Amino acid sequence: MGIREDLEKIGQDLQTELGKVADTQALEQLKVHLLGKKGSLTALLRGMGSVAPEDRPKMGQIINERRAEMQEALESKMRELSLAEKERRLKKEALDITEPRDIPEIGAVHPTQAVLREVLDCFIGLGFDVVEGPEVELDHYNFELLNLPKNHPARDAQDTFYVDDNIVMRTHTSPVQARVMLSRKPPIRIVCPGRVFRADEIDATHSPVFHQIEGLVIDENVTMGDLKGTLDAFAKKLYGADITTRFRPSFFPFTEPSAEVDLTCFNCRGKGCRMCKGTGYIEVLGCGMVNPRVLEMCGIDPEKYSGFAFGIGLERITLLRYGITDMRLLYEGDLRFLRQFR
């Protein structure tokens, strides 16, 4: 057989093979069989030695032309196959973004936090700063500076967790008052939210860890009328315009005079119900005019300045706000309860 015939055969074989290859890998191999070092077309070129010298240029030209054609055929097949492969891959990797999935549950602000935010908003609106203090507190701030010296009988009422003789888990947020009075000059207008600790048994109205929001105002000529006005504004902002405050005389060593403050029962709006035990009122905070002795101990001149302080029980007002009857619900993290606040 002559070279021309071989060339013809190689060309036909290639057409047949090209019709069969299914992927780029097989095509790559076909290319090697044809044009590689040991490829059939390469072998053919080597056989040029046997061609008569005068025919060589012509033959060389023919072979080169055919080779170019075959290469072009291979390349166009390659383009076709890789496009098809790419399409297959894209189809396989495609995400159906319309497919319904399990939607992750979205959290919500805990009711206690929600009420805290409302309370802080209210006081910030009245010009108060928000200040925080340590939960592990020196006896000095938690008691001494608040006019509760060692062996003072009122200390017993607080069921204190002692860390050692001089360090306690703060039993109220009032130590923050003392810290602020020592570090700032009047006028002072602050609220201090935070956790407090008392060795109480857990029940529907008690927890060893709970929250208070302390308030303190010190300036010239601050009166009990300012205290009453401030707390009224707070009560109405949180629970509505028909809610009033009721002051009852009380005792705290750090305020004089002192009062316990009730709010119109949010549940029955004053008519009397089970929540307020028929009284129409619910106790929510303690307050009073800052005891001049406390002012003095904290470096503020009681002749020039006066002030008031209050301590709100955050859980108390949260229960009231939502008509919840058991404080434990606020701590247990039961999703059936919490989902209701989304």
39, 33 Cβ separation under 8 angstroms? yes
C-alpha span between 228 and 246 (Å, rounded): 9
Which stretch in 37-45, 85-93, 296-304, 306-314 sits in contact with ligand PHE by CB under 6 A?
A: 306-314
Residue 186 or residue 288: which is nearer to ligand PHE going by CB?
A: 288
Q: Does 133 bind ligand PHE (CB under 6 A)?
A: no
Q: Does 286 bind ligand PHE (CB under 6 A)?
A: yes
Question: Rounded to whole angstroms, what are the CA distances from 130 to 68, 123, 190, 275?
Answer: 83, 9, 6, 31
Structure-block tokens of residue 55: 């025919």
In the numeric block, the tokens 């009075």 are attached to 181
Residue 309 or residue 317: which is nearer to ligand PHE going by CB?
A: 309
Residues present in the chain in total: 342
Least Å from the CB of residue 288 to ligand PHE: 5
Of the candidates 10, 310, 316, 330, which one interacts with ligand PHE according to CB under 6 A?
310
C-alpha span between 287 and 123 (Å, rounded): 16
Residue 172 or residue 179: which is nearer to ligand PHE going by CB?
A: 172
Of the candidates 112, 289, 311, 319, which one interacts with ligand PHE according to CB under 6 A?
311
Which stretch in 67-75, 85-93, 309-317, 327-335 sits in contact with ligand PHE by CB under 6 A?
A: 309-317
* Residue 140 CB contacts under 8 Å (≥ 6 apart), including other chains: 166
Which stretch in 37-45, 98-106, 183-191, 286-294 sits in contact with ligand PHE by CB under 6 A?
A: 286-294
Which stretch in 81-89, 126-134, 199-207, 282-290 sits in contact with ligand PHE by CB under 6 A?
A: 282-290
Which stretch in 227-235, 267-275, 283-291, 314-322 sits in contact with ligand PHE by CB under 6 A?
A: 283-291
R_g (Cα) of the chain, nearest Å: 44
Residue 261 or residue 324: which is nearer to ligand PHE going by CB?
A: 261
Of the candidates 174, 207, 267, 306, which one interacts with ligand PHE according to CB under 6 A?
174
Closest CA to 189 of 238, 123, 250, 246: 123
Scanning the chain, the segments in alpha helix (DSSP H) are 3-20, 24-35, 40-46, 56-93, 111-125, 139-142, 174-183, 224-239, 292-297, 314-322, 335-338
Residue type, 22: A
Judged by the rule CB under 6 A, the positions of this chain that interact with ligand PHE are 172, 174, 214, 252, 255, 286-288, 309-311
